[in-house]
Amino acid sequence: MAGGFGTGKTTLVGAVSEIPPLTTEEVLTRVSEGVDDTGGIESKTTTTVALDFGRRTITNELVLYLFGTPGQDRFWFMWDELSLGATGAVVLVDPRRLDSSFPAIDYFEVRGIPFVVAVNLFHGQRKHTLDEVREALQLEDSSVPLLECDARDAPSCRSALIVLVEHAMARLPVVPEPAK
């Protein structure tokens, strides 16, 4: 799970994980004032300082290990380690602050890691249509799935993971069957 500061990544991991999630939430301090942009999310009091971790079993053969990235740019150095060997990523977008999503989208586009974009419906609010979001985010690949998601709602989060797995599997190379 990736995205900008305050997009709901920790909430999403907690909602969809079948185990109690590991979080590294810490209280925002005065030191972060002027560093972390809390515009539009003034009520935010904590932040992820390392990663979030959860697990979701899809089938007996397919288990997803969920890693939530920290959103602030000062922690982006961790993204390379967290994405190593990743099946794909959910880029969680705050529709009130679309510009905070550009770095995450760019990160996965440049590395060729399959990703989906999930617009977090904070309190059911829909500020933009999905077509408007796609255009605003300038998604280079029109096949990148774009969907709405409520990071607090487990079924909504599971749906986003299913779309991600299907998208990642569709991008796998076709391996010919061995000759008989």
Assigned token pair, 173: 């190379």
Judge contact between 63 and 87, C-beta under 8 A.
no
Q: Give the tens place of pLDDT for each residue, 80-121.
A: 888 888 889 999 999 888 888 999 999 999 999 999 999 999
Q: Which domains are delineated in the chain? A: 9-27+49-171 (3.40.50.300)
If you average pLDDT over every residue of the chain, what do you get?
Answer: 84
Judge contact between 1 and 89, C-beta under 8 A.
yes
Find tokens 């709901």 and name the residue: 8
